[in-house]
Structure 1
Amino acid sequence: MQGVVHFSERMLQHFKRVQALIDQLDPEGEPEALTVPGSARPHDAVIVFTGSFNPPTTAHIAMLQEARRYARQHEPMHLYAAMSKHTVDKESVERPLLLDRIVLLQKLLRRRVPDTGILLFNRGLYVDQAEAVQRSFPEVKRIFFLIGFDKIVQILDPHYYQDRDAALRDLFQQAELLVAPRGNDGEQELEELIQQPQNRQFARYIHPLPLNRAYRDISSSQVRQRANRYQHEVPQEVQRFMRITRAYEPPLRQADGSETDYYGERMKSLAALMHRQPASRR
């Protein structure tokens, strides 16, 4: 039955460990980064791909695989996917849970991009995340953030800053950017962007990363909005999660007119299991 939730004791303990890390992160506190259990401690040079991974798509995997190739061609680098904790309005419920997304991503990376770790941040801005890495892992000597072309346009847009150049100097003192194409915007468009007079001083911190054109238009938001239509744009592991949990589907109307929210029931069951008191031993 689809509405019944089953977890092995081992998986339940893993959920508890990950949730404990999420609870530890304070969005109002000093910048902080944590590693998910099973991830190596960051050191030397790192490539960090921050996203919501809601859900993880084939484009996410392709970008990480390209980043791994980049790392192997340059100095020894360690690759991480990352998510940031944000405060959800009390009237809304995050779907799927950050906990579910982390555990799903971990399973996916283990099979598709081995040796890729997962970081958790308490802040969302790249400059704060760079500081978090340096504060939490002083062994890290160099930081690269992996982003898409649309994000570099946003980062360089003066409308987002009171003093753009000061903010960008602060960012690039701590980190560099690897930029993957989106849509028709490739390496030439990136070069033209960073060679504009107002951007040229930051060009040496921004590096192109190739990405097969087949992945450039894939969007997590499209998958969320029309899950059935875009399921071919997510890996099989994610397809299975979506099918079993119905995390991106509306409540299912039953023959008697009632509605069943399978993912809502999953959330309740998981919370109850995680807060279950262990049986006392006699």
Structure 2
Amino acid sequence: MRHVQRLLNQLQPDADPQVACAPGTPPPRDTVIIFTGSFNPPTVAHLALLKQGWRYARAQREPAHLYSAFSKRTVDKEGVERPLLLDRVILLQDLLRARLPRTGILLFNRGLYVDQARAVRQTFPRVKRILFLMGFDKIEQIFDPRYYEDRDASLEELFHLAELLVAPRGTAGEEALAELLQRPQNQRFAPYVHSQSFDAAYRDISATLVREKGKGYEHDVTREVRRFMRDTRAYEGPLKRADDSEVDIYNERVQYLKQRLGPVS
């Protein structure tokens, strides 16, 4: 945890694009497939999408390597106060070791894919090809002009540096992706977008619903995640004591980590 927090401290969102490898992650080289998310918490859908990335990697004629990734600045996401980014990195690291042991973890200071691609190219010169793995909601965001001062210039830079590997959920998602890429303003970027089929059974799995403990949420996460949720109470409110006072178990964990590690993210 100390090593991970030290790396997070070095990543400044207002600095030039930066990337670091989590402990135990080999430096990227050759073809890299990167799946960036908040993983709050990681669900079975996240794991299934990473497995799709591995299927694509195995089909490549040159060596390919898969990475999940976090950003200290996440685009269009809720303000995450708990659990800490530190806890989410450690949880995903433990989960991947158990379930997808050849998958590494990258840490970025920026949320935009173009900044992440720039950071990888500048930091790891042995990388030959970058693909960002994502669901359909992300590619809609990428083509949305609201996120850019100059959308086309930014997309030209992005696709000069990287390509996209999109996993739409089911036939409807594939049709929606085709329609998005056929729009006149997007057609010239279509050759850089590759589709990878994804089981529609994962359509309704949501990390938000897991955090809110919706019906059947236990089936949407693995036992490692359920254990983390139970032990840390990161998604729970305060507990009431017999004298009607309250104690926030996760906040006590954060205070303990601050004492041991200093400021934590």
Q: TM-score, normalised by structure 1?
A: 0.86
Match status 1:147 vs 2:134: yes
Alignment of 1:180-191 (within 5 A): 180-182=167-169, 185-191=172-178
2:38 is the alignment partner of 1:52: yes
Q: Which residue is 2:26 aligned to? A: 40
| Preserved contact between residue 170 and residue 199 of structure 2 (Cα < 8 Å) | no
Match of 1:84 in 2: 71
Match of 1:164 in 2: 151
3-state DSSP of counterpart to 1:142: strand
One-letter amino acid of the counterpart of residue 133, structure 1: V
Cα gap change, 1:221/1:122 in structure 2, threshold over 3 Å: closer, same or farther? same
| SS across alignment from 2:161 | coil
Distance 1:178 1:260 in 2: 45
Contact kept, 8 Å, 1:46 with 1:80, in 2: the verdict is: yes
> How far has the Cα of 1:224 moved from its partner?
1.6
CA contact (8 A) 1:149 1:185 kept: no
Maintained 8 Å contact 2:170/2:198: no
Q: Distance in 2 between matches of 1:138 and 1:227?
A: 44
How far has the Cα of 1:162 moved from its partner? 3.4
- Give the letter aligned to residue 19 of structure 2: A
User: Which aligned segments of 4 or more residues in structure 1 are displaced greater than 4 angstroms?
Assistant: none
Match runs of 1:1-282 below 5 Å: 15-74=1-60, 75-86=62-73, 94-182=81-169, 185-226=172-213, 229-274=216-261
Q: Quote the Cα distance in structure 2 between the aligned partners of 1:162 and 1:31.
A: 18
Q: CA deviation at 1:147?
A: 1.0
**How far apart, in 2, do the equivalents of 1:119 and 1:97 lie?**
17
SS state of the match for residue 129, structure 2?
strand
**Structure 2 gaps, min length 5:** none
Q: Which runs of 5+ in 1 are unaligned?
A: 1-14, 276-282
Q: Shift in Å at residue 51 of structure 1?
A: 0.5
Mean CA deviation greater in 164-173 or 34-43: 164-173
CA distance in 2, matches of 1:167, 1:255: 58
Structure showing greater Rg? 1
